[in-house]
Structure 1
Amino acid sequence: MARTRVPERTLLPGEEPLSLLREDGTPVDDAPLAMPDDDVLVELHRRMVIGRRFDTQATALTRQGRLAVYPSSRGQEACEVGAVLALREQDWLFPTYRDSVALVTRGVDPAGTLTLLQGGWHLGYDPYEHRVGPQCTPLATNTLHAVGFAHAARLKGEDTAALVFVGDGATSEGDTHEALNFAGVWRAPVVFLVQNNGYAISVPMSKQNAAPSLAHKGIGYGVPSVLVDGNDVAAVYAVVREALHAGGPTLIEARTYRIEAHTNADDASRYRDAAEVAAWLDRDPVDRIETYLTSRGLLDQARREAVAAEAERFAAWTRAQLNTDVVPDPDELFEHVYATRPAHLRAQAASLREELA
């Protein structure tokens, strides 16, 4: 696979997001990035279509009561898929609660991905099998996990990098600042990908940050920074791929948009209007790559129908896994807390069993 090319690594990002494809799907002239190979572009499109259908299915399952909550990432597929496919096999992903599409793209099955959001176990998959850390619900705690992991890998002489997802709201948390500082000092091989989707729940960017961009935060920690169009999957892949090969820390801000509400419990109409959402629908990341692939002869109607059919099969698999009732074992509440269960937990477990009996 050909290496991508990005501008010389600098602490300051550019004034405008890097892009390979315009909003209408036409290629950018004299782009400072090298377009990924054709086979990569085709796979990026395929995974985005499957990811979007999975996201839609998960939202429907939430309305049916099969999930306790679901934070949709519709509109952010270019970030989720582009970044994950840029990972090498040995690299690790540290996701958040909104990154379910990223998890299934990495190979985690639907049930394992959605266990947390179903209200079952906190972790429904083997992190070591997939090289994916637990989905992070508290904002920004995964940033420190990623830096610690990447630093440890370097100390052990391993050729491993970490990719950590954060939202724009998480950049206001102290954990993110601490993680960036440690990453800069240790030169840890970790890539911070900020999916700037415009809102931290209901708080807009204008009330979170006074800098020209979130990517500008890197300069304070000596971390090279990049600003990229988060709805351009080719550009996201190229930028993340190069950052993972760089051998040190990188802060990437990907500008995108959350089409759906924060979760199914949120009323987004209270803080944004329909015209704003419509404007971003016109910048759809799936439509953009489809237009480009079609113009290149890399995507025809037969291929489009085949990918759509595969996405439907994946949705059916998701339904089948989530429509199976799980009978919880109450005693599991007390497991994996201590290596040896102390007396007060033994007493609580016995009391619960008696009450249920």
Structure 2
Amino acid sequence: MSVRTPHQEVEGLLPSAVPVRFVAEDGTDAGRQAEYSAPQDGTLVEAYRRMVLGRRFDRQATALTKQGRLAVYPSSRGQEACQIAGVLALREDDWLFPTYRDSVALVARGMDPVEVLTLLRGGWHCGYDPAATRVAPQCTPLATQTIHAVGMADAVRRKGEDGVVMAFVGDGGTSEGDFHEALNYAGVLRAPVVFFVQNNKYAISVPLAKQTAAPALAYKGIGYGVRSEQVDGNDLVAVLSVLTAAVEHARSGGGPFLVEAHTYRMDSHTNADDASRYREDEEVARWEAADPLARLETHLRGRGLLSEEDVASAREAAEEYAARLRDRMAADPEADPFELFDHVFAEPTPQLREQRALLASEMLPGED
């Protein structure tokens, strides 16, 4: 009987020496990867349509912030390949645990865009039903959702289901203790969870080099016994291929999987940030040349999978989507100030009752 050595076990966890890539920045074929299968042509065309819509949604949400319709909006322009591939790699009954920067992924999953933007509009809840959509609330605290994702994955398995949980996290989140606790928890339990790190090079204004000395964030999984991989995050074909393999690995009982996607946040951290204060125009220009949407479009055109009519149709559909969103967001939400006192405690405290009565006396004269 053959026995695997510790060295062989580690080899099975290691990511590729360089990020997996299928499509070069100019849209040409970069060569097939022996370990990964390219997605079906129809899937790639559908991914393109969702990327076009996602980018238009992102632009519209940014505009809504400038118009005062949103309190804040963290753009994911430049990260669309990650956003769309993450959704397409999952089944409808799989769970997604997103961050605050993953609104495009939620829209790509078919969720109501107004509900997606409720949290960023300043609503007290996430805007959608997590149980019905199998999407956890968008998480603002860094990496706390990764532990929740592992817990959900363990629960799914204990129920005898074959579902998978995917947790999105940024590069900054990998420097948080919660991220490492989640990896350790997942590795011990062999939970069916995929950690998807979108390494966009900055945690607000802190560059990656000041966060970690690791050769790549993908290597952070090895110490916890988690299979890992790194991929060109602006190559939709590669990202979808690797994530599909990672999800299948987790679903088939192989345990957790960590995927690092090398990408870039083209816009500022949020509308409250000025990225020009901490990064150079030349750097941004280099990443503009690696635009994931342009790369996929060029690739599909070159293979005869996308015509001028297809491109025009996708853009027209995206414009119509943005117009409907704009019209719906133009209506002021009906806010009930007394909701401030709901769901704080199961039974209102004397202080809450006193505060509610004070508000009622100011807003509703004559009422207690």
Corresponding residue SS for 1:246: helix
Give the Å deviation of 1:301.
0.5
1:339 aligned onto 2:346 = yes
Code of the aligned partner of 2:114:
A
Aligned-partner SS, 2:125? coil
SS in 2 for 1:135: coil
Match of 1:129 in 2: 132
Between structure 1 and structure 2, the one with the greater Rg is 2
Structure 1 runs (4+) deviating above 3 angstroms are none
Alignment of 1:179-328 (within 5 A): 179-247=182-250, 248-328=255-335
1:182-204 Cα offsets, whole Å, 9 max, x none, are 00000000000000000000000
Match of 1:192, SS state, is: strand
TM-fit CA distance, 1:156: 1.1
**Match among 143, 147, 150 for residue 144 of structure 1:** 147
For the Cα contact (< 8 Å) 1:9–1:224, is it kept in 2?
no
- The answer for the alignment partner of 1:89 in structure 2 is 92
The answer to whether residue 123 in structure 2 is matched with residue 120 in structure 1 is: yes
Distance, in Å, in 2 between the alignment partners of 1:126 and 1:211 is: 38
| Between 189-198 and 31-40, the greater mean CA deviation after superposition | 31-40
Distance 2:27 2:256 in 1: 31
Distance in 2 (CA, whole Å) between partners of 1:317 and 1:44 is 22
Q: Select the residue among 161, 171, 175 that pairs with 1:172.
A: 175
- Cα deviation for residue 121 of structure 1 reads 2.6
Q: Which residue of 2 aligns with 1:351?
A: 358
Q: After superposition, give the CA deviation of every residue in 1:270-311 in whole Å (9 maximum; x if it has no partner).
A: 100111000000000001111111011110111110000000
- Note the C-alpha offset of 1:9: 8.4
- The structural deviation recorded for 1:93 is 0.4
The unaligned stretches of length 5 or more in structure 1 are 1-7
CA distance in 1, matches of 2:256, 2:173: 18
- Report what 1:99 is aligned to: 102
| 1:80 match | 83
Give the superposition deviation at 1:336.
Answer: 1.9
Per the TM alignment, residue 90 of structure 1 is displaced from its structure 2 partner at its CA by 1.1
CA displacement, residues 24-65 of structure 1 (integer Å, 9 cap, x when unaligned) = 111122423221101100001000000000000000010011
Q: TM-score, with normalisation over the residues of structure 2?
A: 0.93
Q: Which residue of 2 aligns with 1:41?
A: 44
Secondary structure of 1:25's partner?
coil
Deviation readout 1:297-334 (Å, 9 max, x if unpaired): 11011111000000001101211221110131011111
* CA–CA separation in structure 2 for the residues paired with 1:19 and 1:29: 8
Structure 1 residue 343 displacement after superposition: 3.1
Distance 2:239 2:69 in 1: 33
Find the residue that maps to 1:210 and give its secondary structure: coil
Alignment partner, residue 25 of structure 2? 23
**Higher deviation after alignment, 123-132 or 269-278:** 123-132
Percent identity for Structure 1 against Structure 2: 61
Q: Aligned-residue CA RMSD in angstroms?
A: 1.3
Change (3 A) 1:329 1:12: same
Give the aligned residue type for 1:168: D
Cα-to-partner distance string for 1:133-158 (whole Å, 9 max, x where unaligned): 00001111110110000011111111
Partners of 1:111 and 1:318 within 8 A in 2: yes
The residue number in structure 2 matching 1:4 is none
State the alpha-carbon separation in 2 of the partners of residues 352 and 177 from structure 1.
44
